Amino acid sequence: MKAHYRKSAGKPFIIPIFLPESGCPHRCVFCNQAAITGQKHRYLSLKTIDDQIRTFLSYQGQTRKHVQIAFFGGNFLGQDESYICQLLSKATQFVHSGQVQGIRFSTRPDTICDHLLDIIARFPVETIEIGVQSMNDQVLALSGRGHTAADTQKAICQLKARGYEIGAQLMVGLPGDNRQRCFASGERIVLLAPAFVRIYPTLVFPDSVLARWYAAGKYKPLSIAASIKQVKMLYLQFTQAGIAVVRMGLQPTSTLSCAHMRPAGPFHPAFGHLVHSEIYLDRAARAINKLGKPFKKDTRPLLIRVNPRDLSKMRGLKSHNITLLKRLYPMKSVKILPDTAIAPGCIRIN
């Protein structure tokens, strides 16, 4: 049966409905969705969902043209079939009333099958996000995922055949993973060509298997610096292949900042910004290196021009990139200037 959904246009306004670990066959070693989403209840009544959607719609304003209701935080297609249909029917009411344009959800690759895809084809589902995490079978096994890279490959092909917009969620720093394996995972995902990816560093959440391994010294999380480097590597792989990276690092929530829920490992509330800043630092260093060594006796400031929307990425948090550039190169001063003539993502050095 063919899906009869509409393609989402541009970045949608997402109304998230969290169903933590709902439909999951077991808990993966790194997971604690209650800590991540700040929500304890696995199943929500249709009335609660209705209320949540209406609350979001009242915040939305008139600016976003494309609105999607998103079921996140669990394995959507692993839930009871009648609950899947109830959730989709509830969301579809808002699509039919014209307040929302489509539906999206996240699910495990090994729950995607033709039978369930036939069922969801009756609803205006536009986007499906797959929890890929890694394309290395050893890493997947050590992370307690219970599926293989071949499952992901098959799932993406099935979704493509039905024309869904596909998102892939990946992680760096999983047990058994390393930079080479991470790069190889990125290459395999590039070949599968999802529309977009989300990349998360592995964190150690309380009450997870990983937390026990961490306490016993059996798992060591990546440092912030190492996780930024790996996420940056994936970001460049994907964006150079034309695949959008829509998120890097977990969204900071009030739950994550609670002392008893705070994860160990490379958590930073502005993780994505740190990755972007390092990319801009690399670009500036490459451009300076091309200039040769003009700085030793030169007292004029080095001028770095960027598009106005890239200013904070070029500066880095608390102007960290300026400090690093002055440390790396013997320059008196560095000035970062906005210049609308420069295309976003580019820099010019004088």
By the criterion CB under 6 A, which residues form the site for ligand SF4?
A: 21, 24, 27-28, 31, 33, 74-75, 108, 131
Task: List, as one string, the DSSP characters of 28-80.
Answer: -TT--HHHHHS---SS--HHHHHHHHHHHHHHSTTS-S-EEEEEESS-GGGS-
CB 297 → ligand SF4: shortest distance, Å?
56
CB 144 → ligand SF4: shortest distance, Å?
8
Nearer CB in complex with ligand SF4: 131/221: 131
Nearer CB in complex with ligand SF4: 31/156: 31
Sign of CA dihedral 104, 15, 21, 246: positive
Nearer CB in complex with ligand SF4: 131/263: 131
CB 192 → ligand SF4: shortest distance, Å?
19
CB 25 → ligand SF4: shortest distance, Å?
8
The 10 Å CB-count burial string (b at 16+, else e) for 186-217 is beebbebebbbbbbbbbbbbeebbbbebbeee
CB 145 → ligand SF4: shortest distance, Å?
7
SS3 of residue 236 by DSSP: helix
Q: For the beta carbon of residue 231, count every other beta carbon within 10 angstroms.
A: 28
Nearer CB in complex with ligand SF4: 33/92: 33
Nearer CB in complex with ligand SF4: 75/136: 75
